[in-house]
């Protein structure tokens, strides 16, 4: 990977700059220890916890002033809506007997445990293959967790209960080859490979 720049005579000034920048730097002596501790943590442990960082607005603390009358009106409205929703609930609503595939730490932060599961069917048309699996943020990219089934010639499918949110995923063809879903948008992952993106919207009652 390293390529000594020999194809052209180097500018002495740039070489002087580069030499200076090639000097080693000091890192925290406990850096390795912190990295290893972070591997098991649900999120990256901040190296410098004293530093002030701006929190996303979703998790920031808000101060709201509300009058007692407004609270009473809001409570009454919530009661009316709750009773209406109970009476109008669909008979075939998916009951959470299935365990949600939420990918552990990789679950998008927009999801909450209160949101009902939505069963999403992933489908790929691919002939002349022997196996197909689904990997994504919802199953920790585990290529053995979600195998797909060939329901008819070349039509592979699997249904996955997901909470509303945005998920990246890929297909694993024949156990080795990664492919994206041609039917949905793609994003570039941190590793340079394209990932398919699916947005799961909340279930409409």
- Residues lying near another protein in the complex (CB under 8 A) are found at 1-5, 11, 13-14, 17-18, 20-28, 31-40, 44-48, 51, 105-106, 141, 143, 188, 190-193
Tell the smallest beta-carbon distance from residue 111 to another protein (Å): 18
- Specify the residue, 47 or 96, whose C-beta has the smaller distance to another protein: 47
For every residue of 149-204, DSSP letters joined together read EEEETTEEEEEEEE-SEEEEEEEEETTTEEE--TTS-EEE-TTS-EEEEEEEPPPP
How far apart are alpha carbons 2 and 121 in whole angstroms?
A: 45
How far apart are alpha carbons 153 and 32 in whole angstroms?
A: 51
- Specify the residue, 21 or 66, whose C-beta has the smaller distance to another protein: 21
Q: What token pair was written down for 25?
A: 């730097």
Tell the smallest beta-carbon distance from residue 48 to another protein (Å): 5
Q: What token pair was written down for 200?
A: 């799961």
- Specify the residue, 22 or 60, whose C-beta has the smaller distance to another protein: 22
- Specify the residue, 1 or 91, whose C-beta has the smaller distance to another protein: 1
Tell the smallest beta-carbon distance from residue 133 to another protein (Å): 13
């Amino acid at each position: 990977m390293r390529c000594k720049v020999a194809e052209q005579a180097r500018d002495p000034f740039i070489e002087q700059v580069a030499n200076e920048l090639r000097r080693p730097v000091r890192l925290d002596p406990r850096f390795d220890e912190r990295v290893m501790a972070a591997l098991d943590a649900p999120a990256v442990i901040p190296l410098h916890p004293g530093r002030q960082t701006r929190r996303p607005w979703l998790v920031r603390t808000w101060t709201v002033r509300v009058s007692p009358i407004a609270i009473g009106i809001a409570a009454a409205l919530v009661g009316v809506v709750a009773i209406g929703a109970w009476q109008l609930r669909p008979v075939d609503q998916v009951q959470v007997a299935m365990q949600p595939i939420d990918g552990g730490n990789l679950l998008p932060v927009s999801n909450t445990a209160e949101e009902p599961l939505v069963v999403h069917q992933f489908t790929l048309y691919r002939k002349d293959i022997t196996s197909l699996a689904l990997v994504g943020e919802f199953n920790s990219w585990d290529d053995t967790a979600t195998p797909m089934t060939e329901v008819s010639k070349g039509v592979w499918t699997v249904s996955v209960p997901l909470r509303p949110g945005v998920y990246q995923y890929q297909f694993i063809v024949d156990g080795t080859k990664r492919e994206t879903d041609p039917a949905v948008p793609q994003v570039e992952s941190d590793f340079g490979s394209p990932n398919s993106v699916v947005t799961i919207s909340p279930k409409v009652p």
